[in-house]
Amino acid sequence: LTTLALTFSAGSAFADSSSACDAGERIVKFSHVTGGTTHPKVVAANNFADRVNKEMNGKLCVVVYPNSTLFGDSKELEALLLGDVQLLAPSLSKFGSYSPKYGVFDLPFIFKDMDHAIRFTKTPEGKKLLKAMEDNAGFVGLGYWMSGMKYFSANKKLTLPSDAEGLKFRVQTSDVAKSMISAMGASPQAMAFSEVYGALQTGVVDGQENTWSNIYTKKFYEVQDSITETNHQLLAYLFMTSKDFLDSLSPADHDQFMAIADQVTQEANESVKAKEAANRANILKAGGKINTLTEEQRQTWVDTMKPVWKKFDGDIGTDVVNAAAGA
């Protein structure tokens, strides 16, 4: 197959995605949960598929299933374990049941910005984490894809953490995120990404935390009063596969596949800041409200949330926390 990346969504004209692959090509399924056309993960996943489908034509055919259409948050890792999918890019906040070490990426205010986080991923400690789930689950990280810094949104304006007292916030399945929300005097509720819009709309939760790209492409701004520019946490993905899949490739195909993965990862991280800035502007254009903080107000958020670090130091490892903070 040499055409552009194949992507399939609900209502797609293709009943069976594999019908677009040539006979004899091995189908490689890539499932993820984000949507829209301007999202950094959507673009990176499609770029990866385009590159493999062109450069490894006749051998592999990568088919991308965005928007939780194949597997959502709760099923995708299990599907990778079972070999029902070969590629994923889940948020690093979703690996709690496989390794607590990824919690380092969730520590509030540990990374000043995405450049800081990228520097950490290039340290020995950061690189080692690509394989933190290899022994217990057979998962292999191919690279880290940055998504953005995170911001709180709610059904009321949040200027200080105390404004969130008593509210319910949707979080990813991350113990660090849960502690952070509790530190604000609010209640965390873990929920799959595909359910967030509905939960905000019906008032099951009052708020959530996410990147500009997710808030824009999932239209959370429509069902939230405002978004506060807290920059409190990073959202990044582990572009990943299984050891079984990699081992099944010939040495030459393995090397070619890995080289494409590296190049696409680098390109994705080089363009992510521009995509986030564009989606911030898209939110404003669509009528969403963004609340900026003074240095003093922001410091209140830091003071409220940073104490959660010490709870996770043991599980994550002081060496890893120090490497991330000092990168």
Binding interface with ligand LMR (CB under 6 A): 33-34, 91, 147, 172, 193, 210, 214, 235
Residue nearest to ligand LMR (CB): 91
Judged by beta carbon, residue 91 or residue 279, the one nearer ligand LMR is 91
Judged by beta carbon, residue 1 or residue 43, the one nearer ligand LMR is 43
Work out how close the CB of 56 gets to ligand LMR at its nearest, in angstroms, rounded to a whole number.
26
Judged by beta carbon, residue 73 or residue 323, the one nearer ligand LMR is 73
> How many whole angstroms separate alpha carbon 193 and alpha carbon 174?
13
Quickly tell me which residue has 């564009």 as its tokens: 278
Quickly tell me which residue has 């890019």 as its tokens: 89
Work out how close the CB of 320 gets to ligand LMR at its nearest, in angstroms, rounded to a whole number.
21
> How many whole angstroms separate alpha carbon 19 and alpha carbon 66?
18
Sequence-ordered strand ranges (E) for 151-269: 151-154, 168-171, 187-190, 207-210, 226-228, 234-242
Work out how close the CB of 147 gets to ligand LMR at its nearest, in angstroms, rounded to a whole number.
6
Work out how close the CB of 107 gets to ligand LMR at its nearest, in angstroms, rounded to a whole number.
16
Q: Which residues contact 181 (CB under 8 A, 6 or more apart)?
A: 164, 169, 171, 187, 188
Work out how close the CB of 66 gets to ligand LMR at its nearest, in angstroms, rounded to a whole number.
10
Judged by beta carbon, residue 53 or residue 233, the one nearer ligand LMR is 233
Work out how close the CB of 148 gets to ligand LMR at its nearest, in angstroms, rounded to a whole number.
9
**10 Å Cβ neighbour count for 241?**
22
Judged by beta carbon, residue 6 or residue 191, the one nearer ligand LMR is 191
What sign for the dihedral angle of Cα 273, 214, 102, 265?
negative
> How many whole angstroms separate alpha carbon 321 and alpha carbon 281?
33
* Alpha-carbon distance values, 93 to 89, 100, 225, 233, 238 (Å): 11, 10, 25, 11, 10
Judged by beta carbon, residue 5 or residue 60, the one nearer ligand LMR is 5
Helix axes 318-325, 309-316, angle to 10 degrees: 120
Contact 60, 116 (CB under 8 A): no
Work out how close the CB of 193 gets to ligand LMR at its nearest, in angstroms, rounded to a whole number.
4
Work out how close the CB of 196 gets to ligand LMR at its nearest, in angstroms, rounded to a whole number.
7
Judged by beta carbon, residue 7 or residue 256, the one nearer ligand LMR is 7
**10 Å Cβ neighbour count for 197?**
15
Judged by beta carbon, residue 160 or residue 204, the one nearer ligand LMR is 204
Contact 87, 240 (CB under 8 A): yes
Work out how close the CB of 295 gets to ligand LMR at its nearest, in angstroms, rounded to a whole number.
27
**10 Å Cβ neighbour count for 248?**
13
Judged by beta carbon, residue 91 or residue 242, the one nearer ligand LMR is 91
Contact 20, 63 (CB under 8 A): yes
